[in-house]
Amino acid sequence: MKILAITNQKGGVGKTTTCVNLAASLASLGRRVLLIDLDPQGNASTGSGVDKAHLKLSIYHVLIGEKSLQEVIVSSEKAGFDIAPSNRELAGAEVELVNELARENRLKVALAKLDHAYDVVLLDCPPALNLVTVNALTAANAVMIPMQCEYYALEGLSDLVNTIKKVRAHLNPTLEIEGLLRTLFDNRNMLAQQVSAQLISHFGDKVYQTVIPRNIRLAEAPSYGLPVLNYDKSSKGAIAYLELAREIMSKQYVNKEKKHG
């Protein structure tokens, strides 16, 4: 079971758009996918067609230890994947967990009980380096960092990389950065091209080859509660996320080959 945390403490870089559309793309390629919404904004839930206002159970109840993941998971039938939804209630978890033991391990323990029911689990993180994000990094085996190629993009990156290093040292020694994903990309923008080149020179093949273009269809689809694949499958956005799904699946394959010798 591959558990991929999609994270960047910078807001609005395309984390949620990537989670929903990568989940749908992987599902369309036959993978069993679970998306876990870890943001009190609940955008991944809405974007997958789940009504966050009327949730009885959410990921909040899992993190505070009241429910198992199985009890909160719902199926997004149209989109073809399962989701553990979230809403504003999750904002309270941070405070409620402060005095709890092993509070960083809550999600990891919950996921272990799923017993490999999924091929891929995607974790949609909030735009903060908080306890919920640390839970995601502790539970994950790999990290994807979506980035907008703009002037300040690299600045926040060192804070994130330091947090990942700390989590690796204390909580999750095998955590790896799988890749940096260029999102909201506008090829005609000179600065975007420069920052993209800079990323590649710093991070080499840690930068995914797939680039996600700025595409209006990706911004429209969530208002219908649909991944772009269900909304406009011939759009540039849909094609890019399918390509990303294939790239990620090929990485998994390479890793497996390495392990076996």
Name the minimum Å distance from CB 16 to Mg ion.
Answer: 3
Counting residues that bind ligand ATP (by CB under 6 A) gives: 20
The crossing angle, in degrees rounded to 10, of helices 190-203 and 153-170 is 30
- Residue 86 interacts with Mg ion (CB under 5 A): yes or no: no
Single out the segment in contact with Mg ion by CB under 5 A; choices: 35-43, 56-64, 90-98, 231-239: 35-43
Alpha carbon 142 to its chain centroid, in Å, reads: 10
The residue among 133 and 172 lying less far from Mg ion, judged by its C-beta, is: 133
- Residue 103 interacts with Mg ion (CB under 5 A): yes or no: no
Query: Contacting Mg ion (CB under 5 A), which of 2, 15, 61, 182?
Result: 15
Report d(CA 89, CA 60) in Å as an integer.
7
- Residue 184 interacts with ligand ATP (CB under 6 A): yes or no: yes
Single out the segment in contact with ligand ATP by CB under 6 A; choices: 7-15, 95-103, 173-181, 247-255: 7-15
Q: Reduce the DSSP state of residue 141 to 3 states and report it.
A: coil
Report d(CA 118, CA 97) in Å as an integer.
27
Nearest to 229 by CA among 244, 216, 217: 217
Residue 115 per-residue DSSP state: T
CB 124 within 8 A of CB 39: yes
- Residue 55 interacts with ligand ATP (CB under 6 A): yes or no: no
Query: Contacting ligand ATP (CB under 6 A), which of 3, 5, 17, 123?
Result: 17
| Helix residue spans in the chain (DSSP H) | 15-28, 43-47, 59-63, 69-72, 93-96, 106-112, 131-139, 153-170, 190-203, 216-220, 228-231, 236-259
Residue 10 per-residue DSSP state: S
Query: Contacting Mg ion (CB under 5 A), which of 7, 8, 16, 148?
Result: 16
- Residue 183 interacts with ligand ATP (CB under 6 A): yes or no: yes
- Residue 108 interacts with Mg ion (CB under 5 A): yes or no: no
- Residue 36 interacts with ligand ATP (CB under 6 A): yes or no: no
Q: Reduce the DSSP state of residue 123 to 3 states and report it.
A: strand
Long-range pairs for 98-103: beta carbons < 8 A, 24 or more residues apart:
100/65, 103/131, 103/135
Single out the segment in contact with ligand ATP by CB under 6 A; choices: 52-60, 209-217, 242-250, 252-260: 209-217
The residue among 174 and 234 lying less far from ligand ATP, judged by its C-beta, is: 234
Query: Contacting ligand ATP (CB under 6 A), which of 127, 179, 225, 227?
Result: 127
Alpha carbon 76 to its chain centroid, in Å, reads: 17
Interface positions, 223-242, toward Mg ion (CB under 5 A) = none
Find residue 147's DSSP bridge partners.
182
Name the minimum Å distance from CB 154 to ligand ATP.
Answer: 16
The crossing angle, in degrees rounded to 10, of helices 131-139 and 153-170 is 60
- Residue 28 interacts with Mg ion (CB under 5 A): yes or no: no
Contact set with Mg ion (CB under 5 A)? 15-16, 43
Contact set with ligand ATP (CB under 6 A)? 11-17, 39, 41, 43, 127, 183-184, 212, 214-215, 218-219, 222, 237
